[in-house]
Every structure is written in structure tokens, then in C-alpha cells.
Amino acid sequence: MTGSFEPVIIGFTCNWCSYRAADLAGTAREKYPPNIRLIRLMCSGRLDPSFVLKALASGADGVLITGCHPGECHYLEQNYKALRRFLLLRRTLTQLGIEPGRVKLVWASAAEGHRLAQEITTMVEEVRALGPLNWAQAANGFGPEPVSAPAAAEGGAA
Amino acid sequence: MSANGKPKFAMYWAASCGGCEIAVLNIHEKILDVDANFEIVFWPVAMDTKYKDVEAMPDGAITLTLFNGSIRNTENAEMAHLLRRKSQILVAFGSCACEGCIPGLANLSAPESLFEAVYDSISTENPEGIRPQATWDVPEGELHIPEYYPVLRTLDQIVPVDYYMPGCPPESHQIAAVVDLVIAALQGKAELPPRGSVIGAGSSTVCDECPRARNCKTIKRFERIQLVKHIDPNLCLLEQGIPCNGLATSSGCGALCPRAGAPCIGCYGPAQGVMEYGARLLTAYASVIDANTPEEIERILDTLPDPVGQFYRFSLAKSLLRASKAAWEEEERYAAAHHH
């Protein structure tokens, strides 16, 4: 499995900078691996940590969070909030045994298509080296089997 | 219905501390209403009944079962399945059954390190290094004891649950209100809420029940409450740097802890609309940190040494990740050994 392991990385991009950087990378024919699935947010400050947890719990091997450089947030200072959340989230994930390399924060302006492509390439290789996370499989595939409720219990308003 | 015509009531404890049982007895004379309106058929902590008595009942024979405790071992799982089959209304009663509670924090570690802490610690005399075994040979034959699951589960992670009643333990006035409601519903005088509802809790947050003044919060460091010399009795604890979980926690307790000068630790579970309790708290805590450079943020975060314990003290087993990587890996080995 590890020989052909292709990591799945969820990338959260900011509408005003990194999403445009990814767009620029495309128009400039910059190449980066297809392992990343980009999701556009209006701002890195919109990133609820549960998005990252849900991605990992649902089978992603890594998450890349991107936003505007400090001082350049379209909404003044929300990227600082993203930074604080990210640093606290990374500590939380470390306690749960998730390697810090699986969740990264990168600043990329709308002009930095080349840099963003490089960061994505680097991260894909780093996560490939870490191996599959397999969280969804772990959580869903094992343990006591659920059973259904008796008919009497299913008659109520659901 | 039993011979005396009363609906049947059961209460069971799985992996729990017994506090939920005490909370039920703590409804005082209301317990007489329970006895007047129900036939208590199974309640190991209060009366002598056997599992085989429950097994002998027809399916759906018990009207109401309050199930407290989480699913730590094979016995807990067996009883959850059995009581689900026998009960018309199965209530996940208390934080352990709802979201794993304190026992769920064991999901941070693989069983071996837990056993090491329990059976090999410096305060334990265990020269033979004895560990729990699922089977054991004695002269009389082979003994079986419940087997420990590497990952602890909440009740609804193994059987469908009709209602959730949060709290560690649920507050007695909330229990009394639920008892009244169920009795009224059985008499046709009230309707039960939709199945799957949280019952016996408020619809807002602990902060909304807390009398402390709230302003704009900015924190330069988190404080350990026992080291704070002067705590302002009228000001929000989080504003004073004391980690308090009221902002994401369901109301229903009356903000007992912050009123008494202790921070909310989140025993009433997520407030309505909160999908991931720990993430909501994490967001809130990160937002009040008064720093914008990675170095200073890290320095402030150093004063919050146990984020999982702070954000998931009661809800780790019900969170999105549910357990640590080490515990899941052990669960995988356990499943591989048992499913073949």
C-alpha cells in the first residue's frame, strides 16, 4: 500500500489571496501534485478548527491552511485569529498523536502562485513520507457492532 | 405492563463513577413518585436483580431505562445491547453515556500505558506484574471476566439512543422535571419531545446563566486558578485568564461552578447548535489571546499545558477524532484478533 500511497490533502484557501495564488499558478502553468483538494473560504479567519478535524476524521491525510500575509488581511486582522487557532489546534492534535507535519499554515498573496505551488509540492511529499492516516477507517471499521432499536422504540416522532 | 399495571423502570451503570445514581436518589421525595408510577424492575445499585431476569423479559418490556456510564468493556456493550432490546425508551443518562466523560479521556492512551499506570505505578504493590486477563484458569474451571476495549465508546456509538440527558451528574431538579414529564406523557397529559432530543438541559450557554460581568476579553496568559491570589468575584473568569468553558457549554446547571468561584469545566456538554464542542472552545480561547506574533502566541499557549484536557474533558469519546492515534491502532489490532 505505501509503495503507491497517494496522500489526500484538503487545502483551505482565502478568497482574496491564496485562492487567487492557486488560480495564478494555473494560468502560469505552474505544476503541483493533484493530491490537494482546494476549498475556498472568504478568509482564513473563517476556518473553524472543526473543518480540519472533520477532514482528518473523514480520511484526509493532511490539511493545508492558507491565508493572506500578516497585515494584509482583507478583513483587517482575521488571519491573526487563524494563526492563533492554528497554533492551538496543532498542540491539540499533537496530544492525539497526529504528527505536526500533517496540518500546516502557509501565507500566500495573490501574486505568489509559484510559491504556493512549491509549498503544496513540499507538503504532499512530507505527508507521503508520514504515510496514510487512515482515521475514518479506524473509527468506522472496528468495535462493537451497532444494533437497531426494537420496533416499539422506533414508533415515536423522529 | 406488569401485574400491578405500572410501567417498568430500569437504571443501569456501565463505565461510570456512581454519581448519576446518587443524583437520581437526590431528587428526594420525588423518588416516591417514581415508585408510585413505575415498577422498578432492574437497578443493580439499589436492588438485587440479575442480568438473567432482564434477559427473561419480553423485548420492549421496560418502558423507561436510564443508562449511565460509557462502554469500556464487553460487559458494558452486552448490557447496552440487552437493555436496548428490552426498553421502549432508552435514555443516555449523564455525561459518560452521552459523550464519554472522564473515562473517555483514557482514549488518549493505548491500553498498555493505562494498565502500566494502574498496575505498575510506584504506589502499587504487584510484584508478579499481574494484569487483567479475559480468561483465567482456576481449579474449578475457566473464569471469564469482561474484556477491555482499546477505544471507549459512548452509548449511541453502539446502540440507538432515544434521549440524551447531559450533566456530570445531571442536576437533580432537571431529573425531577424529566420524571414529571415522562409520568405526564404516560398519562396522556403531555407529549414527549422528538426522539434524539437532549432533555433536562437549557437552550443556551452557561455564560447566559452566569452572573459575572462580561467585557471584551484579552488575555496575556492563562492562569491556574489555585495560584491566583485575588479573583474578582464579579468579573468573568476567562477575562481574568482563568480557563472557563462556559461559552460552549449547555446551560441547565444554573452556572453553579462560576457562581462558586470555580470555572466551568463543561460537564453539561455542548450547547445547542455546537457540533464539535472542543473546536468551539478552541476557537474561543484562540480569539481572546492578545498576541499576533507566533513567538508570543506560543509563549501564552505554554500557560495552557493540556489543551485536550481543557477542551475535551467530557467529550473526547464523542468528538470528531474520538481517540488518539495510539488507541485507534490498538483497536485495529483488537478487531483483527477478534473478527477472525
Check pLDDT > 90 for residue A8: yes
A2-135 CATH fold: Rossmann fold (3.40.50)
Reported as a single tens digit per residue, the pLDDT across A32-41 is: 999 999 999 9
Q: How far apart are CA B324 and CA B114, in angstroms?
A: 13
pLDDT averaged over every residue in chain B: 94
Whether A153 sits inside 8 A of B275 (CB atoms) is no
Instruction: Tell me which of B109, B222, B320 to substitute to probe the interface with A (most A C-beta atoms closer than 10 Å).
Output: B320
Whether A144 sits inside 8 A of B158 (CB atoms) is yes
Over its C-alpha atoms, chain B yields an Rg (Å, rounded) of 22
* pLDDT band, residue B176 (cuts 50/70/90): very high
State residue B291's pLDDT score.
96
- B68 inside 8 A of chain A by CB: no
Q: Are B153 and B70 in contact (CB under 8 A)?
A: yes
| Residue A152 with chain B: CB contacts under 8 Å | 59-60, 88
Contacts of B81 (CB under 8 A, 6+ apart): A144, A147, B158, B159
Reported as a single tens digit per residue, the pLDDT across A59-113 is: 999 999 999 999 999 999 999 999 999 999 999 999 999 999 999 999 999 999 9
pLDDT averaged over every residue in chain A: 89
DSSP A156: S
Whether A152 sits inside 8 A of B88 (CB atoms) is yes
Higher pLDDT, B217 or A155: B217
State residue B3's pLDDT score.
59
What are the boundaries of each domain within chain B? 8-103+151-186, 110-149, 206-313
Whether B160 sits inside 8 A of A151 (CB atoms) is no
Q: How far is CA B260 from CA A110, B212, B256, in A?
A: 51, 11, 6
Instruction: Tell me which of B67, B283, B285 to substitute to probe the interface with A (most A C-beta atoms closer than 10 Å).
Output: B283
* pLDDT band, residue A140 (cuts 50/70/90): low
- A57 inside 8 A of chain B by CB: yes
Reported as a single tens digit per residue, the pLDDT across B121-131 is: 888 999 998 88
State residue B337's pLDDT score.
86
Pick B8-103+151-186's CATH classification: 3.30.930.10, 3.40.50.700, 1.20.120.1200, 3.50.50.60. 3.40.50.700
Contacts of B139 (CB under 8 A, 6+ apart): none
Q: Are A68 and A74 in contact (CB under 8 A)?
A: yes
- A3 inside 8 A of chain B by CB: no
Reported as a single tens digit per residue, the pLDDT across B283-329 is: 999 999 999 999 999 999 999 999 999 999 999 999 999 999 999 99
Residue A14, helix vs strand vs coil:
strand
Check pLDDT > 70 for residue B74: yes
Q: How far apart are CA B14 and CA B164, in angstroms?
A: 16
State residue B133's pLDDT score.
87
